[in-house]
Structure 1
Amino acid sequence: MHSGILAPVALLALWSMVMLAWTLTTRMGALKKMGVDISKVRGTKPNMLDGVLPDKTMWVAHNYNHLMEQPTAFYAVALALAIMGMGDGLNAWLAWAYVGLRIVHSLVQATTNIVGIRFMLFVLSSLCLVALALHALLGALLN
C-alpha cells in the first residue's frame, strides 16, 4: 500500500545526501586551500574546525549536522503514520510543509546564515512536526 507521506520522507533523505556532498566539497576545498593534508590528521573533536575553516564552510557542515538531529524524529513519526494508514491527506501536507521548510532552512543557513530567518523556519517546521507527532500518538492510542 502506498502512503503519500513516503515521498517527503524520501525527499528529505535525498536532501540530506545533497547537503553531505556540499559539506564534503566545501570542507575539502577549504582544507586544500589551507594546505592541510588530511592523511596526516589524527582524530578530531566535534566543532574542532570552527574558527579554523571559513565560516561559510562551517555553515554548510553545521546544517548537515542539523539534518541528522530533529529530522530523525520526523522519519520515525512519518513512518509510523504510514504504517498506521494515516500518511495521506493532512498528514502528507504537513510532511511536505516540514520538508520544504527544512530545505529552505538549509539554503538559508548554508548561504546567508541569517539567524532570524533560520529561527522562523525552524519554528514553523517544528510546529508541523509537533502536529504530525500528535496525529501519530492519537492514531496509535485510538486505533
Structure 2
Amino acid sequence: MQAQMLAPAAVLIAWSLVMLFMIPITRFPALAKLGINVSNAERGVRGQDSEDKLPPSVNWKSHNYTHLMEQPTIFYPAVVIIALMGAGAGDVLAAWIYVGLRVIHSLWQAFVNIVAVRFALFLAMTVALLFLAYRAVSLTLFADPGVA
C-alpha cells in the first residue's frame, strides 16, 4: 500500500511543475504586449514586481503556484508518514481526494477565479488534509514500540 499512498504526492509534484511552467507561458507574452522585454529586465527585478502592470488573469497562475508551495508542505510529510507506518485504503482515498481538489482549485484559480468557489474548494481539501494529519499523528503516537 506504500506505493499507492505515495502516488498522489508524486502527482501533486508533477502538477505543481505544470503550474510553474504556466507562469512564463502566460506572463512573457503579457509583458511583451506591454513593451517589456524580459531579456533586458533590470538586474534583481522579481516577477512579482510586474504584477501591477499585468492583467489579473495572468497573475492568477503565479498566485496559484505560490499556494501549491504552501499548504501541500503539510500534505507531503503526512503522506510519507502514513506510507511508512502502514496506509489503509481510506488514507489513499483521502490523499487522492486532496490532490484532485488541489488540481481543480488550480484550474479554477488560474482560469476563472471566483473567490467564493475557490474558498469552498480550499475548505474541502483542508478537510481531507486534516484527516491525513490526524492519521499521521495517530499512527505515530500510538504505534506499537515493539514493532520494527
Q: Which range, TM-score by smaller chain?
A: over 0.9
| Other-structure match for 2:94 | 94
TM-score relative to the length of structure 1: 0.93
Looking at structure 1, the residues matched to 139 and 47 of structure 2 have their Cα atoms a distance apart, in angstroms, of 39
Shift of 1:32: 1.6
Cα deviation per residue 1:72-105 (whole Å; 9 max; x = unaligned)? 110111011111122x310100000000001000
| Other-structure match for 2:83 | 82
Residue 99 of structure 2 is aligned to residue 113 of structure 1: no
CA contact (8 A) 2:16 2:68 kept: yes
Looking at structure 2, the residues matched to 20 and 47 of structure 1 have their Cα atoms a distance apart, in angstroms, of 14
| Other-structure match for 1:69 | 70
Letter in 1 for 2:133: A
Letter in 2 for 1:65: T
Looking at structure 1, the residues matched to 62 and 79 of structure 2 have their Cα atoms a distance apart, in angstroms, of 25
Q: Which has the higher helix share?
A: 2
How many pairs are equivalent? 142
RMSD after superposition? 1.5
Q: Which residues of structure 2 form unaligned runs of 5+?
A: 144-148
Structure 1 window deviating more from structure 2 (121-130 vs 76-85): it is 76-85
Q: Which residues of structure 1 form unaligned runs of 5+?
A: none
CA contact (8 A) 1:3 1:85 kept: no
Looking at structure 1, the residues matched to 32 and 46 of structure 2 have their Cα atoms a distance apart, in angstroms, of 20
**SS at 2:4 equivalent:** coil
Residues 137 and 2 of structure 1: CA distance in aligned 2, closer, same or farther (over 3 Å): closer
Mark the structure with the bigger radius of gyration: 2
**SS at 1:50 equivalent:** helix
Residue 139 of structure 2 is aligned to residue 124 of structure 1: no
CA contact (8 A) 2:30 2:58 kept: yes
TM-score relative to the length of structure 2: 0.90
Shift of 1:46: 7.2
Shift of 1:112: 0.8
Identity of aligned residues (%): 44
Letter in 2 for 1:82: A
Shift of 1:45: 5.3
Looking at structure 1, the residues matched to 2 and 101 of structure 2 have their Cα atoms a distance apart, in angstroms, of 24
